[in-house]
Homo-oligomer: A and B are copies of this chain.
Amino acid sequence: MERLSLNQITTDNWNMREAVEGCARASIPWIALWRHKVQQAGLAESKRYVRDAGLRVSSLCRGGMFPAATKSERQARIDDNRRAVEEAAELGTDVLVLVCGPAPDRNIDDARKMVEEGIEQLVPYAVSCGVRLGIEPLHPMYAAERSVINTLSQASDIAERYAANQVGVVVDVFHVWWDPDLYRQIARANGRILGFHVSDWIVPTPDLLMGRGMMGDGVIDIRRIRKAVDSAGYTGPIEVEIFNRSIWDAPGDEVLALMKERYTQHV
């Protein structure tokens, strides 16, 4: 349990204070924060809630969204990413998760170059703030709307241009479980894995975004992936990150209790 982290999107109906207090009640030692939730609660207040509850912040979600149609728009994205870096540092986590963004047009190759350029521009500032950038490959079904970085291989190709303590990758079982190259790519990412996220792929899959399930309710061999990630040197927090309407609508304390049970059984 010392690695368990609540990614606060899993209890989306809870505000910042409720999520932090819920973790404390459930003896969950880590929490992953989302920027829009931090903004709602206020940065200083969020920091105080977390500190008062004795929690640690596993990561801040999310930076990224680099591709844009114009140079000025791309610069605006960089500026926003710099603020995200500052927020991560202020909140006491050294991991900013990057969801890299979709293409502004039909040219996915160009968008991928924009991601590379955006990260290149962001790294020096992140380093100066002591924040590492975790590139999270998103499932290919999100290529058009959320990220053109869709495999662990792509994420590592970019990360490896930098020092291991500057840029790494985030492994989320929901995004990568299908990849025929998965275990080779996890081994390749040795020393560069900055986060590990769990949920499950439920069948039938009801929705592209809201179709994730609680661990054990789907088809992903989560334990095998967790062991591979462990073998690749990752000993940090394990975030439970679930977008699912029925989980969101359930009482938060019940979700956390079920999450702990399933974590023990399936992670």
Tell me the A residues contacting B by CB distance below 8 Å: 103, 105-108, 112, 139-141, 143-145, 148, 150-151, 153-154, 177-180, 201, 203-205, 207-208, 211, 218-221
Contacts and interface: CB of A to CB of B under 8 A. Distances in A.
Nearest to A222: B106
B219 A103 contact: yes
Contacts of A139: 140-141
Q: In this complex, which of A105, A108, A145, A201 has the most chain B Cβ atoms within 10 angstroms of its Cβ?
A: A108
Q: In this complex, which of A112, A144, A207, A208 has the most chain B Cβ atoms within 10 angstroms of its Cβ?
A: A144
Contacts of A219: 103, 105-106, 108, 144
Contacts of A201: 144
B108 A178 contact: yes
Contacts of A221: 106-108
A203 B142 CA distance: 10
Question: Which DSSP category, helix, strand, loop or mixed, fits chain A's interface?
Answer: loop
Contacts of A211: 208
Contacts of A105: 219
Contacts of A203: 144-145
Q: Which 10 A-B pairs have the closest CB atoms?
A: A143-B178, A141-B141, A140-B178, A106-B221, A140-B140, A144-B219, A144-B203, A154-B180, A144-B201, A106-B219
A221 to B, nearest CB: 5
Contacts of A153: 180
B140 A179 contact: yes
Given A140-B141, A141-B140, A144-B218, A178 B150 contact: yes
Contact of A208 (B103, B148, B208): B208
A175 to B, nearest CB: 9
Given A150-B178, A180-B112, A180-B151, A208 B107 contact: no
Given A106-B221, A144-B203, A148-B178, 10 more contacts: A106-B220, A108-B219, A141-B208, A143-B177, A144-B178, A144-B201, A145-B204, A150-B179, A154-B180, A208-B208
